[in-house]
């Protein structure tokens, strides 16, 4: 942190506070040795101004030092543990700032740090280890800024954020300008949704909701990046990512997995905007998503061969790309597990979604251009105001959480008709949190939209999500899909079971005109990481399998070998339906992982709008 200052060391003598035996002379720091001689310790004054400890009071003890360089004051924190584990990193950072500690004085400088730690009358600063809401406190770290609730402000505590802030946490313009040029210009449903989604991020941390997010995909030019810019502008710079002319709070999927892990910590409790999923080049998107969305970084060892302390970040991501998450996984030849669509659903965006009913294409394009220009000049205003209002309305963290959770549960119940299985219900909970954020911000006079306009925006995006049928499928349903796709592709290439000239390894047989017999290992490979018995139960419910009593498999003698063994026997009627292009209809039972024949996965009738 840097503060403007132009006083000399002598002018500050009444303000600085040094331990006994240490002195400031001509802008340098001296100490008195055992013989009474004055020895230079540092070529600049390094004076203690406060001691630190973590908000829980259990660790993080250290000293906040100030250094005067070229008329400005710089602050840094020296942890008490560095005195015993090594100060070389600290000395390197000081040298980089122009403060050189002689190698012969390293030991004496450690003694100086220890002396400062025991000084009386130094102010106490409570340190926040990372961004976001402090544990059990109404205190929120937003970049380097700390927001304190009214109930906490009476304690007159000073706070300092230890973690490095993400780029783009800047404030531009005024609240009035932002409202006029951004919020009132954001008239399309997806645009209002993006603002509400950003405001939902701190709510997710307050209620301890699972890490996840929302993915917007569609052709180039449909307005996806503008939606990310709108979301980013809630907490910082909404400048276009990759522009290079100014900082942006929007990251890129081309970042490494380790860089994304760092960003989750820096953006804990605020929206994590990330653009161009197609640019992701690492080999395993599935594992990267699970690690990033969980908010818990990779386990690491300390220099003492102990497990380093891990801080869990609250992740609420808003992503964009030309491909859906499912399509990107397919492109990478990875399995699509049910957990990813549940925590990170995809919504197809089209250019027409950004247009208003009374607008021409030219008018829409001009409005979008004006909006993008305004986003480069205005941002970082309503997010802090929203969080501050949340912190001020309750007397404790638990009271705030209970209040938010109660309102959230009510909205989840009102949106329940949009979900037909357990995975869809998980997604609806995320949409309900976005709706709650919009309604709360409206009540705080931070958004110039009516409740109906906010509701319409969220319902519109729910319907966009529901149009992407794959996001509503479970792992078992995907296992059944892999199985049926295999039958379509390979049925005619499998040999007949009575063919005496079969050569090489086979995956199964066509057994006369009655069944297709798949080897158990073939079936297990098709199930991927889903339990084969679950997929088998689903196929039994679909009437696809011929099976022995109490089993999923059918024991039959192969004419070509004369050996009696077990197979997964698929009925010819089921295969005929697949080859004719029909796909079996099934739905995940709410209370189990089995699949029942209950008609189509999504109702033909669209859900009615919910009255709030």
Give tens-digit pLDDT for 455-469: 999 999 999 999 875
Closest CA to 67 of 40, 117, 126, 27: 27
Residue pair 253/280 in contact (Cβ under 8 Å)? The answer is: yes
- Which of 35-39, 180-184, 467-471 is most confident? 180-184
Per-residue pLDDT, averaged over 38-55, amounts to 88
Report CA torsion sign: 427, 432, 435, 437: negative
Q: What is the mean pLDDT of residues 488-513?
A: 86
Q: Which residue has the higher pLDDT, 575 or 588?
A: 575
- pLDDT at residue number 297: 59
Examine the pLDDT at 138 and tell me if it is beyond 50. yes
Give the confidence band of 185 by pLDDT, cuts at 50, 70, 90. very high
pTM of the model: 0.72
Is residue 566 predicted with pLDDT exceeding 80? yes
Q: In what order do the strands lie in the sheet with 346-348?
A: 250-252, 271-275, 316-321, 212-217, 346-348
Measured between alpha carbons, how far is 207 from 397 in angstroms, rounded to an integer? 10
Using the predicted structure, report yes or no on whether residue 607 has a pLDDT greater than 80.
no
Report the pLDDT value the prediction gives residue 553, as an integer from 0 to 100.
Answer: 93
Within 358-516, residue ranges assigned H as helices are 361-375, 382-392, 397-414, 422-443, 451-466, 475-490
Phi, psi of 162 (to 5 degrees): -80, -30
SS3 242: coil
Record: fold of 175-299+310-392+399-472: Rossmann fold (3.40.50)
pLDDT value of residue 202 = 97
pLDDT, residue 469, reads 55
Residue with tokens 């079936």: 523
Give the ranges where 102-235 is alpha helix by DSSP (H): 106-117, 150-153, 175-178, 189-206, 224-233
Return contacts of 281-290, CB within 8 angstroms, 24+ apart.
281/254, 282/256, 282/257, 283/332, 284/332, 284/334, 285/328, 285/329, 285/332, 285/334, 286/329, 286/332, 286/334, 286/335, 286/337, 286/340, 288/257, 288/260, 289/325, 289/340, 289/344, 290/339, 290/340
Of the pLDDT bands very low, low, confident and very high (cuts 50, 70, 90), residue 311 is low
Q: Which one is predicted more confidently, 565 or 470?
A: 565
Q: Is the pLDDT of residue 125 over 80?
A: yes
Q: How confident is the model at residue 577, as a pLDDT?
A: 74
Beta partners for residue 223, in sequence order: none
**Contact between residue 229 and residue 182 where contact means Cβ atoms under 8 Å apart:** no
Q: Is the pLDDT of residue 85 over 80?
A: no
For 248, other C-beta atoms within 10 Å of its C-beta total 28
The pLDDT, as a whole number, for residue 567 is 94
Dihedral class, residue 504 (left if φ above 0, else alpha if ψ from -120 to 50, else beta):
left
Phi/psi of residue 419, each to 5°? -115, 135
- Provide, rounded to the nearest whole percent, the portion of the chain with pLDDT above 90: 41
pLDDT confidence of residue 474: 64
Q: For 94-98, 314-318, 352-356, which range has the lowest pLDDT when averaged over its residues?
A: 94-98
Q: pLDDT-based confidence at 594, cuts 50/70/90?
A: very low
What residue ranges do the domains of the chain occupy?
2-128, 175-299+310-392+399-472, 475-596
Is residue 587 within 8 A of residue 598, CB to CB? The reply is: yes
pLDDT tens-digit map of 142-162: 988 999 999 887 667 888 887
Instruction: Report pLDDT for 200.
Output: 98
Q: In terms of pLDDT, which residue wins out, 495 or 422?
A: 495
204 against 283, higher pLDDT: 204
| Residue for token pair 């969305």 | 293
Instruction: With a cut of 90, say whether residue 450 has pLDDT above it.
Output: yes
The rounded distance, in Å, linking the Cα atoms of 363 and 355 is 9
Higher-confidence position of 86 and 473 = 86
pLDDT exceeds cutoff 90 at 361: no
Question: CB 246: neighbour CB atoms within 10 A?
Answer: 13
Mean pLDDT, the chain, rounded, equals 83
Contacts of residue 451, Cβ cutoff 8 Å, sequence gap at least 6: 439, 442, 612
Mean of the pLDDT values across residues 51-78? 82
């Amino acid at each position: 942190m840097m503060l403007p200052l132009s006083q000399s060391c002598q002018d500050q003598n009444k303000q600085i506070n040094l331990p006994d035996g240490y002195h400031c002379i001509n802008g340098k720091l001296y100490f008195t040795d055992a013989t009474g001689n004055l020895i230079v310790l540092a070529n600049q004054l390094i004076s203690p101004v406060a001691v630190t400890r973590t908000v829980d009071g259990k660790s993080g003890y250290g000293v906040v030092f100030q250094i005067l360089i070229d008329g400005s004051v710089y602050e840094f924190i020296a942890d008490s543990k560095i005195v015993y584990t090594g100060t070389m990193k600290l000395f390197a950072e000081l040298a980089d700032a122009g403060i050189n500690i002689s190698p012969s004085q390293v030991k004496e400088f450690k003694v100086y740090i220890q002396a400062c730690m025991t000084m009386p009358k130094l102010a106490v600063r409570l340190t926040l280890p990372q961004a976001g809401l402090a544990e059990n406190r109404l205190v929120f770290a937003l970049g380097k800024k700390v927001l304190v609730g009214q109930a906490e402000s009476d304690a007159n505590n000073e706070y300092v954020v230890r973690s490095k802030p993400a780029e783009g946490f800047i404030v531009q313009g005024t609240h009035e300008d932002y409202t006029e040029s951004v919020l009132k210009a954001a008239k399309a449903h997806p645009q209002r949704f993006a603002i509400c989604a950003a405001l939902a991020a701190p709510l997710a941390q307050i209620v301890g909701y699972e890490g996840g997010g929302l993915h917007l995909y569609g052709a180039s030019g449909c307005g996806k990046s503008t939606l990310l810019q709108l979301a980013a502008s809630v907490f910082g710079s909404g400048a276009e990512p990759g522009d290079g002319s100014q900082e942006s709070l929007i990251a890129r999927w081309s970042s490494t997995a380790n860089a994304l892990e760092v960003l989750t910590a820096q953006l804990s409790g605020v929206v994590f905007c990330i653009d161009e999923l197609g640019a992701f080049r690492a080999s395993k998107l599935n594992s990267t998503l699970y690690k990033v969305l969980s908010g818990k970084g990779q386990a690491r060892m300390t220099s003492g061969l102990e497990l380093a302390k891990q801080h869990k970040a609250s992740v609420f991501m808003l992503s964009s790309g030309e491909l859906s998450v499912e399509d990107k996984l397919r492109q990478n030849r990875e399995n699509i597990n049910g957990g990813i669509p549940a925590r990170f659903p995809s919504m197809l965006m089209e250019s027409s979604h950004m247009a208003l009913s009374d607008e021409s294409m030219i008018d829409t394009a001009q409005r979008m251009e004006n909006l993008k220009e305004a986003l480069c000049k205005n941002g970082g205003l309503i997010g802090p105001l929203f969080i501050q209002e949340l912190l001020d309305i309750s007397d404790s963290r638990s009271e705030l959480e209970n209040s938010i959770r109660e309102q959230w549960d009510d909205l989840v119940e009102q949106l329940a008709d949009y979900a037909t299985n357990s995975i869809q219900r998980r997604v609806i909970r995320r949409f309900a949190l976005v709706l709650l954020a919009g309604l709360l911000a409206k009540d705080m006079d931070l958004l110039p939209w009516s409740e109906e306009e906010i509701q319409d925006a969220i319902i519109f995006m729910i319907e966009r999500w529901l149009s992407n049928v794959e996001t509503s499928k479970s792992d078992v349903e995907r296992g059944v899909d892999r199985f049926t796709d295999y039958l379509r592709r390979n049925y005619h290439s499998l040999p007949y079971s009575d063919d005496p000239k079969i050569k090489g390894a086979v995956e199964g047989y066509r057994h006369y005109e009655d069944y297709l017999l798949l080897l158990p290992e073939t079936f297990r490979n098709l199930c991927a990481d889903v339990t084969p018995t679950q997929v088998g139960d689903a196929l039994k419910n679909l009437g696809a399998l011929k099976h022995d009593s109490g089993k999923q498999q059918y024991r039959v003698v192969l004419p070509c070998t004369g050996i009696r063994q077990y197979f997964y026997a698929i009925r010819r009627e089921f295969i005929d339906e697949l080859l004719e292009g029909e796909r079996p209809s099934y739905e995940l039972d709410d209370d189990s992982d089995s699949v029942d024949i209950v008609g189509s996965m999504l109702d033909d009738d669209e859900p009615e709008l919910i009255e709030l």
